Amino acid sequence: MQKVTIQTFKQMKADGQKISMLTAYDYTMAALLDAGGVDSILVGDSAANVMNGWSTTLPITVDQMIYHASAVVRAVQRALVVVDMPFGSYQVSVAEAVKNAVRIMKESGAGAVKIEGGETYREHISAIIDAGIPVVGHLGLTPQSVHKFGGYAIRAKEKDEAQQLKSDAAMLASIGCFALVIEKVPATLAMEVSRSLPIPVIGIGAGNCVDGQVLVGQDMLGMNDSFKPRFVRRFLNLATEITDAVSRYNNEVKAGTFPSADEQY
Ligand code: KIV
């Protein structure tokens, strides 16, 4: 089995082959996603929401990201593991950004990091790439800036913001990011960016005319009944499957029918 690398991403863009990416934050789920054949697993800072119940991604720390990422790396045989640099880990200074990116790579064993933002973080991202660390950019809706945006609404609908996004995307490709995630922007804008860049553009809520797609694993498996934005397709309704199974277990324990004679020593 050939491991997916940043060279694979490059080749897939050149061949017009779509890249599939899903998030995972633990060993068991990462093993299942890898077995399902996804090209890349993102250890997103959405772990703050999905695994820890926070309402934003802001509270998660570098140590917690490393904890999640190292579990994922231990499970994965093929997919490229990308780890989000969490809020506060790269914004303060270029030196802090490099130090934290190095820690994430060294202590998790992942293959790349992802960083939200454009021009403001050009130097920070450049320095991380210069340190030999592959970087995925992230533009459009960048959840770490939720308080600046005032919510999670679609981004870059207006001309000025769309223009800024295009110039940030070109800049990120020019300084050496090997891929770009674009979140919740008009599909036509995402298509334009994808066609203009030499690196793959992976969309989430950005339409189908990009080079790949990413979703939160728990969202596409239907594990969260209360979160269903338009861009999420549930490929399974695991919330119902799990609660049904737990209810059957509960009933059997209470009825004294579990364990059976065959299930004991
Ligand atoms: O943290 C995350 O899950 C992400 C993706 C959804 C792109 O950044």
Ligand 1 close to Cβ of residue 216 (< 6 A): yes
- What confidence tens digit (pLDDT) does each residue in 131-175 have? 999 999 999 999 999 999 999 999 999 999 999 999 999 999 999
Find the catalytic residue in 183, 192, 252, 263. Answer: 183
**Is 183 marked active-site?**
yes
Ligand 1 pocket, 45 CB below 6 A?
A: yes
How confident is the prediction for the chain on average, in pLDDT? 98
- pLDDT at residue 190 in the model: 98
141 with 182: CB under 8 angstroms? no
Query: What per-residue string of b and e applies to 86-113 under the rule 16 or more CB within 10 Å gives b?
Result: bbebbbeeeeebbbbbeebbeebbbbbb
Q: What is the pLDDT of residue 134?
A: 99
Atom from ligand 1 closest to the CA of residue 44: 1
CA gap 162, 107 in Å, rounded: 37
- Asked whether 181 lines ligand 1 (CB < 6 A), one says yes
- Tens digit of each residue's pLDDT (9 = 90 or more) over 59-77: 999 999 999 999 999 999 9
Query: Residue range 16-35: average pLDDT?
Result: 98
| Residue among 81, 84, 201 to mutate when testing ligand 1 (max atoms within 8 A of CB) | 84
- pLDDT at position 1 is 85
